[in-house]
Structure 1
Amino acid sequence: MFGGGGMNPRKMKQMMKQMGIDVSEIDAEEVIIRTADEELVFSDAQVTQMDAQGQQTYQIVGEPESRALGPGDTAGASGARSEDTVDVDAAGEAGGEADGEEIPDSDVEIVATRAGASEEEAREALEAENGDLASAISRLE
């Protein structure tokens, strides 16, 4: 992550804590990433959750099994959704702006703060970049 080379893992964890980054392991039984035409199913995957300044990032380590989706299969076929479920589109980006969903206020606030712009400018940049935070920030800088 930081290219620590031969850095002591305890020292690396201490540095991350000083920077406000909290890392924890998740005891996941199965992880499913659903794209437009397939599912990637990770059984016995090692999942790490990183919380940095309110942004949560998940790292999945393991070998996925690829399953093709049939014509009747949809992203919500199971009916049940966990609070921690993240939809990932075919490009691998979390979100759903293409579905017409509104941009979350938290994203607008992040872009406005990082780019030093008004919330209105941040919202416009996010809409222009289909909800991509990094692209919206770059557009405003």
Structure 2
Amino acid sequence: MDAQGQKTYQISGRPRIVARKELEEKEEGIPQEDIDLVAEQTGKTKAQAKKALEDTDGDIAEAIMKLKE
């Protein structure tokens, strides 16, 4: 809404309490545990596992399938 030259925004929804660790993981990207799991399950390097997870938006199952092709 624009009133007297000032814009006003309204946000609706429910507040959600998020642990600091969860926020830090989101900022850092792919959690190390996920990288380790994909590398272990596929026998690939951690760098390859991380790349696959990034390509699949963090989907572990899809990353494993991609690396096993």
TM-score (norm 2): 0.64
Is the partner of 1:130 in helix, strand or coil? Answer: coil
Equivalence for 2:11: 72
The answer for unaligned runs of 5 or more in structure 2 is: 1-9
Identity of aligned residues (%): 31
Q: How many residues align?
A: 55
Q: CA RMSD in A?
A: 2.7
Q: Judging changes above 3 Å, is the alpha-carbon distance between structure 1 residues 108 and 74 closer, same or farther for their aligned structure 2 residues?
A: farther
Q: Which has the higher strand share?
A: 1
Equivalence for 2:65: 138
TM-score (norm 1): 0.33
- CA distance, structure 2, for counterparts of residue 72 and residue 101 of structure 1: 27
- CA distance, structure 2, for counterparts of residue 101 and residue 74 of structure 1: 26
Q: Which has the higher helix share?
A: 2
Task: Indicate the structure (1 or 2) with the bigger Cα radius of gyration.
Answer: 2
Matches within 5 A, 1:1-141: 72-74=11-13, 77-78=15-16, 80-81=17-18, 102-141=29-68
What's the offset of the Cα at 1:72?
1.4
